[in-house]
Structure 1
Amino acid sequence: MTRALLFTVVILLGAVAGVFGYQVWDQDRPEPRPDLTLPDLQEQPRSLSEWDGRLIVLNFWATWCPPCVEEMPLFQRLQDEYGDRGLQFIGVAVDRPDAVAEFVAEHDIRYPILYGRQAAMSAGQDFGNQAGTLPWTVIIDREGHIRHVFDREVSREQIEPVLLDLL
């Protein structure tokens, strides 16, 4: 009887350890990115899947958002510096297309810009922005997993180490 009880205890401990181990492993797995399709400034629908295989920096922003406007030149510089290594910035403007087109031309932003009002806000929620704050920047690795979120304006010192780690 003692052997049977010992055997049962060992089996139970193994099961508990297995469940706990799976939960820890599951928490460390990055979250897969949601789908996203919005129009670009030429009114063409663009899907985030077009850039699969690249390190994507998805930035939700608006022309009327001062911190958003502040970080846009940095994002263009980083795109210029690391684009040939597989980095792809994509802007999602929560704004009117005419205001976005004017801003992009004025500030020489050359990476893809998608736009929408309610659709862009809904997309932001899909990427974790439940409060609708701007800017909201999501870093998606080459396998399509969300690896980092910045919930405010980001500096070069904050974002560049994350990018270099994933490039």
Structure 2
Amino acid sequence: MFNKKYFVYAAVAIACGAGGAWFSDMQAQQALAEASAAKAASMAALPPPVAALFRQQLKDVKGADQSLGQWRGKGLLVNFWATWCAPCVQEMPELSALQAEIQDKKLQIIGIGIDSPSNIAEFAEKHKIAYPVYVGGMSGTDLSRELGNAHGGLPFTVLIGADGRVKKTYLGRLKFDELRADLASM
């Protein structure tokens, strides 16, 4: 009798534990589904080119995959460039200095290199770039076209507000007085 009583208690405890684990798993799955639906809805609210940008998974200069969606909700200055593009290289020190100025203003500069991973990594090692740089490769040109670069020229820079809307695009070497005025009006 004594052993049967403990056996019943153990069986009830195991059943309750299993039921609790099942219930917890169901809640976690529901929360995941709700979060996924919320993310999809928020992406649907973005203009298609910006949504395409935030869906990108690009390698950084160290070869690690990075989601550009990590920048969602911040103002973003996206600079498309290449190592062989003289105006691109000329504006990079000024972009680095600008990143230092704006780091506390919920604005981030990112660079998307239209070049090979090895060229971009070598360039980044040689130059001190104060903002994240990603490898877009040749498909980066397509992304820049989606964002308004009709001719595929470089450098091409896109100013995106924290709301995910394209505020302005710049083709060619940046005029930093104009850019600072645009940033001040955001």
Q: TM-score, normalised by structure 1?
A: 0.76
Counterpart of 1:95 in 2: which secondary structure? coil
* Map 1:1-167 → 2, pairs under 5 A: 33-36=50-53, 37=56, 38-166=58-186
How far is 1:31 from its partner?
5.1
Q: Give distance in 1, aligned partners of 2:88 and 2:163.
A: 27
Structure showing the higher helix proportion among its residues: 2
Runs of 4+ in 1 over 4 A off after TM superposition: none
What is the count of residue pairs matched by the alignment?
Answer: 137
Amino acid at match of 1:53: G
Structure 2: any 5+ residue segments left out of the alignment?
1-45
Equivalent pair of 2:156/2:170 in contact (CA under 8 Å): yes
Partner residue in 1 for 2:33:
none
Equivalent pair of 1:55/1:86 in contact (CA under 8 Å): yes
Q: TM-score, normalised by structure 2?
A: 0.69
- Point out the structure with max Rg over C-alpha: 2
Counterpart of 1:154 in 2: which secondary structure? coil
Structure 1: any 5+ residue segments left out of the alignment?
1-29
Counterpart of 2:182 in 1: which secondary structure? helix
Amino acid at match of 2:91: E
